[in-house]
Amino acid sequence: MGAVEQPAADSLWRSRLTPPQIPADALTQPQVLDVFASQPNARVLLFCAPAGFGKTTALALLARQRQSQGSLVAWFSLASEDDDPSRFYSQLIEALSSALPGVGQDALGYLQNTMRVPVAAVMESLLVDLAQATQPLLLVLDDLHLLRDPELYSALNRLVRLAPNGFTLALGSRSQPPLSLATWRAKGLLLEIGPNELRLSLDQTGDYLGRLGLQINAQALAELHRHTEGWMVGVHLASLWLRNQPPAGAQMPDIGADQVAVGEYLLCSVFERLPLNLQEALLALSVARQLSGDLASALTGRQDGQQLLESLEVMQLFLLPLDRERQWYRFHNVFAEFLQARLKGRDPERFKQLHFNASLWFTNHHMQDLAIEHAGLAEDPEMLAALVDACGLEMINRGQLNQIYRWRKQVPDAIAERFPILVLAEVWDKAAELALPQANGMLDALLARFESGKTDTQVTDNYLAVLAVKAVLALQKDDLQACVNLARKIEPQLGQHSAFLEVAILLVGALAHVVLIQPEHARRLLALAQQRNHFLEGRYLDMQLVNVEIFMALEQGQVKQAQLLFAQLRTRVLPWFGEKSRALALPAICEALIAYQQGQLEGLEDKLKWALATVDVINPIDLYAQAMLCLARTQRMQDKPKEAMANLALMQNLAARNQSWRFYAQAVGDEIALILQEPATDRIKRAEQRLQSFEWAKRAEQYQPAGFNPVLWVLSISRIRLQQARGNYSEALHEITQARALLQPNWHGLQRLRLDLLAALSYQRLGYQERGQSLLQQCLLSAEREGLRSLFIEEGEAIRQLLVQLESAERQPALQGFIRSVLALWPGQSLRKSAEVLEEALTEREREVVCLAAKGLSNDEIGQQLSLALGTVKWHLHNIYEKLKVRNRTQAIRRVRELSLLES
């Protein structure tokens, strides 16, 4: 986008990244300098005022002053198209590198190989580079109000918070930006310059007019100042107005002091006194945000476009040069808005035609962003669609898919359906709403259109982009074979297309092979993806490659290997991403899955909730579903059964929408396990009803061709648990034998361990104590090697009792310590400790005393109610304090409430 193949284009982009020319008649404003002097150490300088108050000129003066003091200066004048992470950062990096060569080279990699720019990651990389600067640096962002993306404002907050010493951020904006202004203000980091500081005083107004050769009496000057209130543009308009007034008519009419009314009156007065041919030229030129001589000729139909622009500058008609060579100009915003409104109101068709002409000119000069913008303003959807489609793939690869969809909404459906990139943007939007069948149907139609009439097997990058989205949606729909087929389709042509798209498809295919238990195929695709990934500069897809490897290790039951892979990921890749970057959702899920298996539950619920709220449709549904299961199981282990049930219901809804029945089955299986661990007397009946409510055989048909049927596995494990809950331990052993036949060799480590654990319980309950204990010890040894703890807790109270018995008899210190670490995590520990305290510590009389104390009775009142002497009451209280390890009555009451002793 915005390729700079023409010198004119290059000059335009450079003009936005250099401070503008300071007008020769610019006034030094002591009031602004006084504000600077009051807070010399401010990190943020905010110039906030409506249009025409001289914010840009004040910023340019500040930049010149800082440069004279030895500071480096980076300047970035924002435009409306910069409200896009990829565009914003590309321009920002170029601005910074002009002051600090080499800054942002790593960050550029993030803009080239992800469909969604990881905003926090790019800022993190820039902060690393800025920390190397040895000179003070001033970064100026002018026209900040044109930014609306909340992620970009979050990134600027982070920049201010973590920037090195000597860094200053100067902002020009028409409105208060959504930044952490209150925090900065409280910390003394913010210096605010508003309309009051930027207004011209009465003396400054007179000085300005005097420089222009205009002399008016004191009364007229006071009247003019009252009308303009020191508004810089208003004063300049007044000067133009005065030039065309006879000395006797220098008195301004009484139009009030409203700034808008004054501006409108003065603009009309100045404009209508110009020759008609010049008025027409100004109206034509006003449609372009930036003007060159050649563009001016194209818009006005004249041959002297450059000379016209230079003449307007001399006439001080609000035309400002953007570069020293004077190749590019722009009108002041106030004047441009006035001209555009006048043109559109008087001749709307000419307004559209001029925008169409501007779009053609920018297209021919390879400045696609501006060409697209003008095509939209020309209300020419055909041209807009063609322009977006022509450069759409490059935009997708740079993370600008959302920008494409914004343009897509300006194009009627009948036109958009003929342009593949616009269809792709709409597909992505539908998929983000989880309307996957509809999105997939659109993709199929698009692929059919590409394939019609073609006999060769070579695919274009546009076609490959469709395949990449198709692969992601196939994964969401649980169509694993389709993912594999798509990877197989592009594999022979690797190296002939966009590396980003190739790696994305290979990654999806590898993950599908993992789920299908085809590890060799998965590793081969991962190796190919790694090879192609070397051609990408960023770390986004690098991180996703490791995520798939971690997932494969977890599926094999190799939790320690997964932990090692994540440690490498944390050291090598994650530092490049911001703390709450959306890109970190998948690594957060992988880390949570490892932590859960090892029983490290602290902070796990919050981490999973953040990841699930952050992850979106572009991420694999397998990890999303695993995270939802993990969250429900974590809540179950934290004695939150209602919350766990609610999350299992959400997972079933998600799976049903996408017809991903293996996830639905997993949620049903966990729901049955949760019911069986309730204390209710009807738990077995309810669990059986839930088991019978799901169409196991029908849903299992989808997975018959695979080496492992996940639906049948969940059915088997649920039956085993039900048989054991009924006390049918022989039948449970038979079910366990059948379940083992479902598992694949060298895979399903956790599933095998679970079956061994349940078998140990059945043997123990059938009276085969030695065999049961031996099998339980083997399970514990295998679990200890991988650090597995949660698996034991998931099987409930019967397993806890087995572990308690084994712990008391175990002679190996390491294994005994591991058993204790598992038991310490068990839900309901506080209730069991309460029961132990009640039985072993407090006597019946002591319990009566402390219960009455908790009701607020005094020692005398307790004695009267229990027929005890005062001294005896005190003696009982003393013993209670000793046993509960507290010092006074208040602490004792709090302690017995914590231990639930008052309910007995």
The three-state secondary structure class of 190 is strand
The three-state secondary structure class of 52 is coil
| pLDDT surpassing 70 at residue 618 | no
pLDDT at 88: 86
- H/E run at residue 883: helix 870-884
d(CA 813, CA 798): 23
pLDDT band per the 50, 70, 90 thresholds, residue 265: low
What is the average per-residue pLDDT within 858-880? 87
More confident residue, 15 or 222: 222
Look up residue 116 and give its amino acid: R
Average pLDDT of every residue of the chain: 81
More confident residue, 462 or 744: 744
DSSP one-letter string for 300-339: H--S-HHHHHHHHHHTTSSEEESSTT---EEE-HHHHHHH
Burial environment of residue 600 by CB neighbours within 10 A (0 to 12, 13 to 18, 19 or more): middle
More confident residue, 65 or 25: 65
Look up residue 597 and give its amino acid: Q
List of residues 6+ apart from 234 with CB closer than 8 A: 52, 227, 228, 259, 262, 263, 266
d(CA 390, CA 363): 11
pLDDT band per the 50, 70, 90 thresholds, residue 245: low
The CATH 3.40.50.300 portion of the chain extends over 28-198
Lowest mean pLDDT among 49-53, 262-266, 339-343: 262-266
What is the average per-residue pLDDT within 190-210? 79
| pLDDT surpassing 50 at residue 641 | yes
| pLDDT surpassing 50 at residue 853 | yes
Q: How many residues does the chain have?
A: 904
Residue in the structure block whose two tokens are 């110009």: 274
CATH 3.40.50.300 fits 28-198, yes or no: yes
Secondary structure letter of residue 46 according to DSSP: E
pLDDT at 665: 94
State residue 48 phi and psi, 5-degree precision. Answer: -125, 115
CB of 516 closer than 8 Å to CB of 480: yes
- Show the tokens assigned to 61: 């003066």
| pLDDT surpassing 50 at residue 63 | yes
| pLDDT surpassing 70 at residue 29 | no
CATH 1.10.10.10 fits 832-898, yes or no: yes
- Record the pTM: 0.62
What is the average per-residue pLDDT within 773-799? 92
pLDDT at 223: 75
d(CA 478, CA 515): 10
pLDDT at 795: 92
What is the average per-residue pLDDT within 83-109? 82
d(CA 55, CA 143): 9
What is the average per-residue pLDDT within 54-78? 86
Using the CB atoms, write b or e for 506-542: b if 16+ within 10 Å: bbbbbbbbbbbbbbebbebbbebbeebbeebebbbbb
| pLDDT surpassing 90 at residue 339 | no
What is the average per-residue pLDDT within 638-643? 89
d(CA 770, CA 541): 51
Share of the chain above pLDDT 70, in %: 83
CB of 630 closer than 8 Å to CB of 592: yes
Task: Identify the top-confidence range among 321-325, 525-529, 577-581.
Answer: 525-529
CB of 147 closer than 8 Å to CB of 609: no
d(CA 732, CA 738): 10
pLDDT band per the 50, 70, 90 thresholds, residue 454: low
| pLDDT surpassing 90 at residue 831 | no
pLDDT at 694: 93
Pairing of the two strands 137-142 and 167-173:
parallel
CB of 321 closer than 8 Å to CB of 303: no
CB of 475 closer than 8 Å to CB of 620: yes
pLDDT band per the 50, 70, 90 thresholds, residue 140: very high
| pLDDT surpassing 90 at residue 187 | no
The CATH 1.10.10.10 portion of the chain extends over 832-898
- Show the tokens assigned to 808: 């008391």
pLDDT band per the 50, 70, 90 thresholds, residue 788: very high
CB of 673 closer than 8 Å to CB of 711: no
| pLDDT surpassing 70 at residue 834 | no
Task: Identify the top-confidence range among 265-274, 668-677, 818-827, 829-838.
Answer: 668-677
CB of 789 closer than 8 Å to CB of 595: no
Closest by Cα among 795, 794, 786, 796 to 818:
786
Residue in the structure block whose two tokens are 């322009």: 387
Cβ neighbours around 149 below 10 Å, total: 15
| pLDDT surpassing 70 at residue 224 | yes
State residue 138 phi and psi, 5-degree precision. Answer: -110, 120
DSSP one-letter string for 495-557: TSS-HHHHHHHHHHHHHHHHHTT-HHHHHHHHHHHHHHHTT--SSHHHHHHHHHHHHHHHHTT
pLDDT at 30: 64
The three-state secondary structure class of 893 is helix
CB of 537 closer than 8 Å to CB of 518: no
What is the average per-residue pLDDT within 488-495? 85
| pLDDT surpassing 60 at residue 830 | no
- pLDDT digits over 363-394, tens only? 888 888 888 889 989 999 999 989 888 877 66
